[in-house]
């Protein structure tokens, strides 16, 4: 059952009124990050216009500065919506974005995000990761977390750089690295998530003359496509290696709130760098509302060291300018109406929902695929990652089976080759269990069974 | 530089989902029953009756679609409406080698277009004073300047492939390209084989006396007789909402494909929810309602321009010179010095003008390498009438201060 992450220890907190509480935590300084910024990021200059904006606040000053449209020409006068109460399924909340909130939502706003949403998110990060505002890190809102991950990669990775990525890795990031001609160093994963021994081995055997990788990209909960979740031990080992070998961790965590395992929820890297490593500023964390509020609303947020977020925001300032102020206003209205307890209640329901879907799907897999496929049970997210077995134990090719016999039999799943950085052959398959109704699960897996048997017959000529 | 993106394995499989009877376990989409939003409504002013409000709802399938992941290029209801818009205002008919992609503001799409068509180090043609390459004047882009650059191009250097231009109410000059200039530019585009990135966020904020000049997107068909050189960028930021972040690109399918491939790896798509809100409003208005709204918006900015220009004539006559804008929201004016030498607006703005309580944008922000200039950009979109008079009075005093200082008088 998804649980709240414990707050950081009091010894590392900063709750003393004068802010001078005993700290055993080292906060990496701003100058630390220059070594991590890409040529592209270092070239970006802040706009000269922005430098003047603070002057607008001078009392009595009249500004002719900003090329903002006059809001009286915007036709929207009010916006309302209904949302289910997370504590009472029969109740709907009637919410309105009005007055100043709507005005702000309709006009250009700050690159990094609108204040009401950012304030709420700071509270969220404190509640779930124990990190206190004002300690060298901040938050930027993006048009989905993918928007921010893309910009982060551009900000910290130069063409040709080596990058550490879990393998198999979320297919959406492979093109980002390929476009930069990166050397994608595959770190093995297993049922407990990222293999720290594999990571250690790569780093300790690194040729002395080659620049070391500066970045690790990892999806610690319900990794897409494997569905696996990194245990506490693995996370601690990875953090130690990050410090030893001086790399940043891009913690992409869209399924953090879709955890339904039996073990207590493992703390995030963003939490552990403070509570365990005692040195903060290596983790850049990406959260998403796509799996819990709405995918179409396009709201994600990055949390991490201010210099890193500044680099991302400078990119935003020249590309899409900002995330939609209007959707941020809608989200902030909902989240403030729910409060953090309401949010937790909602998360409890969402993770329970996906656990049930997982159970139904696994029941079907046991029924139809026992002996024909092998898999580990996911404890977060929405994917099963399973290996199609051949009769003689040789390495199969799931793509061949999927695109021919499985398709012909009326079932479609995703060949694992899509998630391997070099697109090599594999027997693995990713199936999503988020959408399929119970009766279709049974039919689909039955068809898949027949397809695997077809393939086995073909292979043996039987 | 647009490259292979999003695994072809995945892309190749999605169309197969439509096969009748097939069960798909393909897409990693969240289950919409977990999304808490159950309905969304909004009110908008009727463009034809200012006292009337329209009560609009995004419901049922529209809301479902708005809450879920959707197509990279944009949602169908909005795209369909936009095709009708482009036919009405630019005479271009759907299905003739061009299409539309929605972006998170037009800037999102322009950025991706530049990334898609320009290699590092490439030459690009841009209007001055944005980068002081192609000159502009009161009639917009100077085709003679453009011709001169192209005809004198060193034979061994690769020629520029792209011209970036803002034909209506160009930021910062506020100038609008006349029909003659547009025709000449199109001829040059054909002769010297470059694409035109037509960035037109103030197209609907035109209030000049001359009949509206056709867009490049229209003229390549009606005048040049060869379509496919123009990639046009529209924005709703100045007419519906800046915060909603909706813009759209119209142009040759291969060019839009390149932009969409970038979107597919970066932000995935524009917000389906804001597209649903926009489509609901625009369908409720219809094209006639839209035109009525545009009429009001351009009349609004014309009035703001008139008020501002009245103030400039009153306070800055003999101290500044300018051309009158016929679109958009900017005045671009040159501060004159007593001896006719080239002034430095930045020095004046940041010191005496600021100290006197008025802030405007030094023109150096728009020149390469922060070159010195006497020009200033002032926006007239937001300032109330009484403040315009005070602000320009303060600016007058600041300019006179600078004159005194310069002459030691």
Instruction: Give percent of chain A above pLDDT 90.
Output: 80
> Which residues have CB under 8 Å from A16's CB, separation 6+?
none
- For strands A26-27 and A279-280, give the pairing: parallel
Using one digit for the tens of pLDDT, what is the confidence trace for B253-310?
999 999 999 998 888 999 999 999 999 999 999 999 999 999 999 999 999 999 999 9
pLDDT band at B370 (very low <50, low <70, confident <90, very high): confident
Q: What is the pLDDT of residue A51?
A: 73
Measured between alpha carbons, how far is A395 from A302 in angstroms, rounded to an integer? 39
Supply angle C-alpha A347, A351, A357, rounded to 5.
Answer: 150
pLDDT band at B7 (very low <50, low <70, confident <90, very high): low
Better pLDDT: A125 or B406: A125
Q: What is the pLDDT of residue A459?
A: 79
Measured between alpha carbons, how far is A96 from B40 in angstroms, rounded to an integer? 10
Say whether B69 and A295 touch across the interface (CB within 8 A): yes
Q: Residue B322: name the closest of B135, B173, B201 by CA.
A: B173
Angle, helix B385-407 to helix B272-316, in steps of 10 degrees = 50
Using one digit for the tens of pLDDT, what is the confidence trace for B205-226?
999 999 999 999 999 999 999 9
Of B23, B41, B383, the CB nearest to A410: B23
Say whether B27 and A436 touch across the interface (CB within 8 A): no
Q: Residue A8: name the closest of A20, A19, A24 by CA.
A: A24
Q: What is the pLDDT of residue B133?
A: 65
Please determine, for residue B228, whether its predicted confidence score (pLDDT) is greater than 60. yes
Window 266-295 of A, Cβ < 8 Å to B = 290-295
Using one digit for the tens of pLDDT, what is the confidence trace for B327-366?
999 999 999 998 888 899 999 999 999 999 999 999 998 8
Measured between alpha carbons, how far is B330 from A296 in angstroms, rounded to an integer? 35
If you measure CA to CA, which chain A residue comes closest to B385? A62
Chain B residues near residue A77 by CB distance under 8 angstroms:
42-45, 53
Which CATH number describes the domain made up of A32-54+77-342?
Answer: 3.40.640.10
Neighbours of A396 (CB within 10 A): 24
Measured between alpha carbons, how far is B293 from A406 in angstroms, rounded to an integer? 54
Q: Would you call A399 an interface residue with chain B, using a CB distance cutoff of 8 Å?
A: yes
- Give the side-chain half-sphere CA count within 13 A for A456: 15
Measured between alpha carbons, how far is A260 from B276 in angstroms, rounded to an integer? 33
| B404: closest CA of chain A, how far (Å) | 23
Task: Judge contact between B294 and B204, C-beta under 8 A.
Answer: yes
Say whether A436 and B25 touch across the interface (CB within 8 A): yes
If you measure CA to CA, which chain A residue comes closest to B368? A48
Chain A residues near residue B103 by CB distance under 8 angstroms:
320
Q: What is the pLDDT of residue B8?
A: 64
| Size of the A and B interface in Cβ pairs below 8 Å | 330
Q: What is the pLDDT of residue A18?
A: 42
Measured between alpha carbons, how far is A55 from A66 in angstroms, rounded to an integer? 12
Say whether A69 and B237 touch across the interface (CB within 8 A): yes
Q: Would you call A242 an interface residue with chain B, using a CB distance cutoff of 8 Å?
A: no
- For strands A373-375 and A383-388, give the pairing: antiparallel
Using one digit for the tens of pLDDT, what is the confidence trace for A270-295?
999 999 999 999 999 999 999 999 99
Task: Judge contact between A387 and A427, C-beta under 8 A.
Answer: yes
Using one digit for the tens of pLDDT, what is the confidence trace for A139-161?
999 999 999 999 999 999 999 99
Task: Judge contact between B71 and B164, C-beta under 8 A.
Answer: no
Q: What is the pLDDT of residue B405?
A: 84
Spell out a b/e string for A19-52, using b for 16 or more CB atoms within 10 Å of the CB, else e: eeeebebeeeeeeebeebbbebbeebeeeeeeeb
Of B29, B274, B358, the CB nearest to A295: B29
Chain B residues near residue A79 by CB distance under 8 angstroms:
40-43, 277
Average pLDDT over residues A220-242: 97
- Give the side-chain half-sphere CA count within 13 A for A139: 27
> Which residues have CB under 8 Å from B204's CB, separation 6+?
B238, B239, B294, B297, B298
Q: Residue B232: name the closest of B203, B205, B209 by CA.
A: B203
Chain A residues near residue B390 by CB distance under 8 angstroms:
62
| A455: closest CA of chain B, how far (Å) | 19
Say whether B23 and A411 touch across the interface (CB within 8 A): yes
Q: What is the pLDDT of residue A21?
A: 44
Q: What is the pLDDT of residue A54?
A: 81
Say whether B245 and A295 touch across the interface (CB within 8 A): no
Using one digit for the tens of pLDDT, what is the confidence trace for B238-249?
999 999 999 999
Say which residue the tokens 């995918």 belong to.
A295
| B241: closest CA of chain A, how far (Å) | 5
Using one digit for the tens of pLDDT, what is the confidence trace for A87-111?
988 899 999 998 999 999 999 999 9
Measured between alpha carbons, how far is B315 from B180 in angstroms, rounded to an integer? 34
Judge if the upstream peptide bond of residue B172 is cis by omega within 30 degrees of 0. Answer: yes
Instruction: Give the start-to-end residue ranges of the domains of chain A.
Output: 32-54+77-342, 348-460
Q: Would you call B360 an interface residue with chain A, using a CB distance cutoff of 8 Å?
A: yes
Chain A residues near residue B13 by CB distance under 8 angstroms:
402-403, 412, 414
If you measure CA to CA, which chain A residue comes closest to B294? A73
Burial of A401 (0-12, 13-18, 19+ CB in 10 A): buried
B250: DSSP letter? E
Q: Would you call A53 an interface residue with chain B, using a CB distance cutoff of 8 Å?
A: no
Window 115-174 of A, Cβ < 8 Å to B = 142-144, 146-147, 150-151, 171-172, 174
Select the residue from B242, B279, B294, B335 to test the A interface by mutation, using most A Cβ atoms within 10 A.
B242
Q: Residue B365: name the closest of A64, A49, A315, A43 by CA.
A: A49
* SS3 annotation, chain A: CCCCCCCCCHHHCCCCCCCCCCCCCEECCHHHHHHHCCHHHHHCCCCHHHHHHHHHHCCCCEECCCCCCCHHHCCEEEEEEEEECCCCCCCEEEEEECHHHHHHHHCCCCCCCCHHHHHHHHHHHHHHHCCCCCCCEEEEEECCHHHHHHHHHHHHCCCCCEEEEECCCCCCCHHHHHHCCCEEEEECEECCEECHHHHHHHHHCCCCCCCCCCEEEECCCCCCCCCCCCCHHHHHHHHHHHHHCCCEEEEECCCHHHECCCCCCCCCHHHHHHHHHCEECCEEEEEECCCCCCCCCCCEEEEEEHHHHHHHHHHHHHCCCCCCHHHHHHHHHHHHHHHHHHHHHHHHHHHHHHHHHHHHHHHHHHHHHECCEEECCCCECCEEEEEECCCCCCCCCHHHHHHHHHHHCCEECEEHHHHCCCCCCCCEEEEECCCCCHHHHHHHHHHHHHHHHHHHHHHHCC
- For strands A183-187 and A162-166, give the pairing: parallel
- Tokens linked to B71: 């197509």
Say whether A297 and B271 touch across the interface (CB within 8 A): yes
Measured between alpha carbons, how far is A449 from A455 in angstroms, rounded to an integer? 10
Q: Which CATH architecture has domain A348-460?
A: Alpha-Beta Complex (3.90)
Torsion, CA B181, CA B187, CA B188, CA B191, rounded to 10: -170
ipTM of predicted complex: 0.91
If you measure CA to CA, which chain B residue comes closest to A79? B42
Task: Judge contact between A166 and A223, C-beta under 8 A.
Answer: yes
Q: Which has the minimum average pLDDT: A119-128, A304-313, B136-145?
A: B136-145
Q: What is the pLDDT of residue A462?
A: 54
Spell out a b/e string for A412-445, using b for 16 or more CB atoms within 10 Å of the CB, else e: bbbbbbbbbbeeeebbbbbbbbbbbeeeebbbbb
> Which residues have CB under 8 Å from A341's CB, separation 6+?
none
Q: Which has the minimum average pLDDT: B5-19, B100-114, B264-278, B303-317?
A: B5-19
Beta bridge partners of A93: A83
């Amino acid at each position: 059952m998804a649980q709240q992450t414990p707050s950081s220890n009091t010894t590392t907190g900063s709750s003393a009124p004068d802010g001078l509480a005993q700290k055993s935590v080292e906060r990496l300084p701003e100058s630390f990050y220059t070594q991590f910024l890409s040529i592209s990021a270092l070239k970006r200059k802040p706009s000269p216009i922005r430098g003047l904006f603070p002057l607008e606040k001078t009392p009595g000053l009249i500004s002719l500065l900003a090329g903002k449209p006059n809001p009286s020409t915007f036709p929207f006068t009010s916006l309302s919506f209904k949302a289910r109460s997370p504590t009472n399924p029969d109740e709907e909340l009637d919410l309105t974005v009005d007055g100043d909130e709507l005005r702000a939502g309709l006009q250009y706003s700050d690159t990094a995000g609108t204040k009401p949403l950012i304030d709420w998110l700071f509270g969220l990060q404190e509640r779930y990761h124990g990190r206190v505002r004002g300690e060298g890190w901040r938050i930027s809102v993006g048009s989905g977390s993918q928007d921010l991950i893309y910009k982060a990669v551009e900000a910290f990775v130069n063409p040709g750089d080596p990058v550490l990525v879990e393998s198999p890795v979320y297919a959406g990031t492979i093109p980002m690295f390929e476009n930069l001609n990166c050397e994608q160093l595959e770190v093995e994963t297993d049922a407990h998530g990222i293999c720290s021994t594999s990571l250690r081995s790569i780093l300790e055997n690194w040729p002395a003359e080659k620049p070391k990788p500066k970045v690790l990209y990892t999806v610690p909960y319900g990794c897409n496509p494997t569905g696996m979740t990194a245990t506490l031990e693995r996370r601690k080992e990875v953090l130690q290696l990050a410090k030893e070998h001086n790399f940043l961790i891009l913690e992409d965590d869209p399924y953090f709130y879709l955890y339904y395992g039996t073990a207590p929820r493992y703390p995030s890297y963003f939490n552990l760098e403070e509570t365990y490593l005692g040195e903060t500023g290596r983790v850049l964390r990406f959260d998403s509302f796509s799996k819990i509020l709405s995918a179409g609303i396009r709201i994600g947020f990055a949390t991490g060291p201010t210099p890193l977020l500044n680099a991302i925001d400078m990119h935003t300032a020249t590309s899409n300018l900002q995330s939609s102020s209007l959707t941020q206003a809608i989200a902030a209205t909902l989240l403030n109406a729910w409060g953090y307890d309401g949010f937790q209640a909602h998360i409890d329901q969402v993770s329970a929902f996906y656990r049930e879907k997982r159970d139904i799907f696994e029941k079907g897999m046991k029924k139809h695929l026992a002996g024909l496929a092998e898999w580990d049970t996911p404890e977060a997210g929405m994917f099963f990652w399973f290996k199609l077995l051949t009769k003689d134990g040789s390495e199969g090719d799931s793509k061949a089976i999927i695109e021919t016999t499985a398709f012909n039999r009326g079932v479609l799943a995703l060949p694992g080759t899509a998630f391997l950085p070099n697109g090599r052959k594999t027997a693995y398959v990713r199936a999503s269990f988020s959408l399929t109704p119970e009766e279709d699960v049974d039919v689909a897996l039955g068809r898949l069974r027949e397809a695997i048997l077809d393939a086995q017959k073909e292979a043996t000529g039987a």
